[in-house]
Structure 1
Amino acid sequence: MKSMLITMLVSYIGICVVLFVLQRKFLYFPQPATPVNGVAAISFDSDGEQLRGWVVNEGRAKALMYYGGNAENIENNIDFFKDVLPEYSVYLIPYRGYGNSTGSPTEEHLYHDALSVFDRVTVNHEQIILMGRSLGTGVATYVAANRQVTKLVLITPFDSIVNVAKSVYWMFPVNLLLKDKYLSINRVENITAPTYIFIAEHDQVIPRARAESLIAQFAEQLVVTILITGASHNDISQYPQYVTELKRTLD
């Protein structure tokens, strides 16, 4: 019995070590860029790394900066934003290591890059709206807490990656192991922009409790929470209700 317990303990510690060492392989799922035609390409240098993306509807007075989901090819949104938001210049800039951007993603780097790009883009527009989806909500809340923005739109958000991970890896000391925690819940008090939150009714990736926990921290800056009936985490943007509510939000 004693030897069995020792074996189990060693195995448990071994798994914890593997999770710690390889955690960013489990957290980030960068996708290579797909071919894009008919839209302006743009790039930004950030501490020697090249962030290469696109601007949809270039030259508008109002801008929207979109921070995509974890395994999302954000260029797949080009036609959507062309059709739905023709009055906005929409910036689709893949994170480090995603698409054609160089480098490797970490929480610190994604925050740094987002602020760097924001500061260079904002001088060209009268208004800037931030829109984050899933992982991108962690980036969007960070920028909104550190810069003045017109509106903040969060699609399938979470309170923290730590709490999301705990719902999956409940048997491990996630809080001690995780390097990239994306503590959006701790930044809400510093967000002043009118905020709009979209939740998928059948979100299989972000537990509803994690979104509700974030929502509970907002005060008067939260304008509305919108539940997209029937939607799941990955298909929320395909629902007519989502398109209608997004247009209303950005009018």
Structure 2
Amino acid sequence: MTSTLATLLFLYLGICLLLFVLQRKLLYFPTPPLLHFSPPMEATVTSFENEGERLSGWVVNEGHPKALLYYGGNAENIENNIPFFRENLPDYTVYLIAYRGYGDSSGEPTEAHLYSDALQIFDEVTAEHTTLSLLGRSLGSGVATYVAAHREVDKLILVTPFDSTANVAKSVYWMFPVSLLITDKYESAKRASNIDAKTTIIYAENDTVIPRASTERLIDAFSGQLEDTMLIRDADHNDISEYSEYVTGLKRALD
């Protein structure tokens, strides 16, 4: 009996160690740039430098005084959003910049790196526009809340967001001490009280990636700056932007 318990404990601790070592492999899913992708007359290629890394992406609807910085979801080819923003936000210049290690951007993604890059890009872009708003989707919502807590932002829109990646991970790895193991926690809920920007949260009724409870805890963490929440009926995590209600909500948030 004692030997069996010792074996089980050894296996449990071994899995904990494996989760700790591989956690960033489980959290980040960098996507390569789309092969043969070329959007003539639809977007302009751009890049930024930070901490010796090159961050590449696209500018849509270039030249407008109002701008939007988009922080994409995990495993997302950010350039896929070019037609959407060109069609639906023609009066906004939209910046689509791939995270470190994603697309054509160099480096390796970590929470600290994504925050540093986001602040650097924000500081460079803001001088060119009268207002700058942020849109963070899924993983990008954690980056967006960080920037909004450290910079003056006009509007903040969070799509399928979470309160923290630790709490999302707990819903999957409930049998392990996730809070002790995870390094990149993206604690948006803890930052909510430091955000002054007018905020809108849009989330999916049938989200199979972010538990509803995680999003609702984030909503509860906001106070007076939370202007609107919108639940998109029948939508899932990855198809929410295909619903007309999403487009309506996005435009209303930016009005």
TM-score band, normalised by shorter chain: over 0.9
- TM-score, normalised via structure 2 length: 0.97
Instruction: Provide the residue aligned with 1:75 in structure 2.
Output: 79
Query: What percentage of aligned pairs have identical amino acids?
Result: 63
Superposition deviation, residue 234 in structure 1: 0.4
Give, as a single letter, the amino acid of the residue that structure 2 aligns with 1:26.
L
Matched, 1:229 2:233: yes
Q: Does 1:129 align with 2:130?
A: no
The answer for the alignment partner of 2:209 in structure 1 is 205
Name the amino acid aligned to 2:38. Answer: V
Residue 153 of structure 1 aligns with an amino acid whose one-letter code is I
RMSD: 0.6
Gaps of 5+ in 2: none
SS in 2 for 1:144: helix
Matches within 5 A, 1:10-49: 10-34=10-34, 35-38=37-40, 39-49=43-53
Instruction: Tell me, in whole angstroms, the C-alpha distance in 2 between the residues paired with 1:33 and 1:81.
Output: 19
Shift of 1:183: 0.5
Query: Are 1:244 and 2:238 counterparts?
Result: no
Aligned to 1:4: 4
Show CA shifts across 1:26-83 (max 9, x none): 0000100111322200000111000000000111110000000011111100000000
Cα distance in 2, alignment partners of residues 217 and 248 from structure 1: 22
1:145 corresponds to = 149
| Partner amino acid, structure 2, of 1:132 | G
- Aligned 8 A contact 1:36 1:75 in 2: no
Tell me by how many angstroms 1:217 deviates: 1.1
Q: Stretches of 4+ moved more than 3 A in 1?
A: none
1:120 to 119, 124, 130: 124
